[in-house]
């Protein structure tokens, strides 16, 4: 229900949805918008022309567009994040009081349930947020990365870590060995995730199986673990199951396997293709060969499972610039991609201590600038061909620095 009102010389909109509460104010301070899940957790905010996205782990990323049109982004310090929470909580608190005193003129009176959600948003201050983040860390091993369209998923860590952990450009799972959970442990994990999300569960849009390679799990174990998911959650209502898979190696699944997984709710598999150039993959220490990725995608698509391909822009610098573009176009064009699929262009982000930086130094690789990386993505995109009948996959950028969960 949307309730409109006037309060302290500003217009107010209270939007109560089945999965979220949004408070919008427009007055002298300009538009301010705060959204909360039904536990009262601040989820997004927009004020003073800066938009904020807050993860379940309590971290907040701020994004804005500068007057010259350039985009800015930074992660808030904990004190800044607390300040944002205080501002959001204060507005919810005052609005709640105003509804009780009649100080705010509303088009409709909020229901008891709606007032409960508003009071939860009012109570969500730094101390509650800290306890909430502690509970998050008790439930999850750090969630390293998700595809951008999965930031609102319910993450279930069916496995932990990465079975390979060799890729020089990836440091997401260096802190933990790969392991597959046994059904009792996974059952407990799902229960603790549900308890943690509580009323916030219905803001989540899909189920994402963590960590990096959950689908490498052999079929008998995997189906038993997926049964645990079905026993605890309404998979279809939540939008189905999604996961990463390293398409190049490990236990290879057949078309029949993928059909069985589709029957169990698997909707899309995300594959870190990185490049179609086998020489570049060797340099990156990415296991396997692009031909295996082509085979895996064909099997998935034939079984009715969509795919998301991730291409690493800038990898190998100028030395691999042409072969990376050429071979990636060739490999993607050999995949039966259609409008159900996604292609992400992810810029290589070098950081201190990343093995790629050392190997780039040893190989005397000349790095591409950010603009050149973006141009590389454009060149790949220009070379892609899709069938008219199948349509074009959704193609977009994937900036891992903006990942929030």
Stretch that binds ligand SF4, among 14-22, 170-178, 233-241, 377-385 (CB under 6 A): 170-178
Residue 229 CB burial class (10 angstroms; 0-12, 13-18, ≥19): buried
The H or E element containing residue 86 is helix 78-101
User: Residue count at the site for ligand SF4 (CB under 6 A)?
Assistant: 12
Give the nearest distance from C-beta 346 to ligand SF4 in angstroms. Answer: 10
Of 84, 143, 170, 309, the one binding ligand SF4 by CB under 6 A: 170
Torsion region of 55: left, alpha or beta (phi above 0 gives left; psi -120 to 50 gives alpha): beta
Q: Please write down the long-range contacts of 163-167, taking CB distance under 8 Å and 24 or more positions apart.
A: 163/212, 163/213, 163/216, 163/246, 163/250, 164/213, 164/246, 164/249, 164/287, 166/285, 166/286, 166/287, 167/272, 167/274, 167/284, 167/285, 167/286
- Is residue 329 a contact residue for ligand SF4 (CB under 6 A)? no
Of 140, 164, 403, 405, the one binding ligand SF4 by CB under 6 A: 164
Three state DSSP letters for 318-378: HHHHHHHHHHHHHHHHCCCCCCCCEEEEEECCCCCCCHHHHHHHHCCCCCCCHHHHHHHHH
60 vs 212, beta carbon nearer ligand SF4: 212
Gap between the Cα atoms of 326 and 336, Å rounded: 18
Of 165, 275, 328, 346, the one binding ligand SF4 by CB under 6 A: 165
Gap between the Cα atoms of 286 and 85, Å rounded: 41
Give the nearest distance from C-beta 335 to ligand SF4 in angstroms. Answer: 19
24 vs 150, beta carbon nearer ligand SF4: 150
187 vs 289, beta carbon nearer ligand SF4: 289
Stretch that binds ligand SF4, among 41-49, 78-86, 167-175, 253-261 (CB under 6 A): 167-175
Strands 10-16 and 2-7: antiparallel
Of 132, 246, 321, 327, the one binding ligand SF4 by CB under 6 A: 246
97 vs 166, beta carbon nearer ligand SF4: 166
Of 7, 52, 117, 172, the one binding ligand SF4 by CB under 6 A: 172
Which 185-214 residues touch ligand SF4, going by CB under 6 A?
212
- Is residue 269 a contact residue for ligand SF4 (CB under 6 A)? no
- Is residue 272 a contact residue for ligand SF4 (CB under 6 A)? yes
Residues in contact with ligand SF4 by the rule CB under 6 A: 162, 164-167, 170, 172-173, 212, 246, 272, 286
């Amino acid at each position: 229900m949307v309730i409109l009102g006037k309060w302290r010389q500003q217009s107010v909109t209270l939007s109560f949805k089945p999965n979220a509460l949004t408070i919008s104010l427009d007055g002298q301070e300009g538009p301010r918008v705060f959204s909360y899940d039904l536990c009262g957790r601040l989820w997004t905010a927009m004020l003073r022309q800066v938009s904020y996205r807050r993860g379940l782990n309590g971290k907040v990323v701020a994004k804005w567009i500068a007057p010259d049109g350039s985009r800015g982004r930074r992660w808030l310090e904990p004190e800044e994040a607390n300040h944002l929470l205080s501002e959001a909580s204060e507005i919810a608190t005052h609005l709640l009081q105003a509804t009780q005193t009649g100080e705010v003129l509303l088009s409709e009176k909020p229901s008891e349930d709606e007032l409960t959600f508003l009071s939860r948003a009012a109570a969500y201050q730094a101390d509650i947020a800290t306890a909430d983040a502690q509970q998050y860390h008790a439930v999850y091993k750090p969630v390293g990365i998700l595809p951008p369209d999965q930031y609102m998923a319910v993450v279930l860590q069916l496995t932990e870590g990465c079975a390979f952990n060799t890729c020089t450009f990836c440091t997401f799972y260096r802190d933990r060995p790969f392991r597959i959970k046994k059904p009792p442990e996974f059952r407990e994990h799902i229960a603790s995730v549900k308890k943690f999300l509580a009323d916030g569960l219905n803001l989540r849009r899909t189920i994402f199986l963590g960590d990096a390679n959950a689908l490498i799990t052999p079929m008998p174990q995997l189906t038993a673990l997926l049964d645990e998911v079905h026993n605890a959650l309404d998979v279809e209502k939540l939008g189905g199951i999604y996961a990463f898979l390293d398409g190049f190696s490990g236990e290879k699944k057949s078309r029949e396997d993928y059909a069985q997984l589709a029957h169990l709710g698997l909707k899309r598999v995300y594959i870190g293709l990185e490049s179609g150039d086998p020489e570049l993959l060797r340099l990156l220490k990415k296991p396997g060969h692009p031909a295996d990725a082509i085979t895996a995608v064909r099997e998935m698509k034939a079984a009715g499972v969509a795919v998301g391909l991730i291409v690493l822009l800038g990898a190998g610098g100028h030395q691999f610039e042409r072969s990376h573009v050429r071979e990636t176009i060739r490999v993607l064009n050999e995949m039966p991609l259609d409008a159900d699929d996604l292609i992400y262009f992810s810029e290589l982000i070098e950081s201190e201590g990343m093995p790629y930086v050392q190997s780039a130094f040893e190989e005397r690789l000349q790095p591409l600038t950010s603009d050149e990386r973006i141009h590389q993505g454009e060149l790949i995109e220009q070379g892609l061909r899709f069938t008219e009948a199948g349509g074009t996959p959704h193609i977009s950028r994937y900036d891992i620095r903006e990942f929030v969960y």
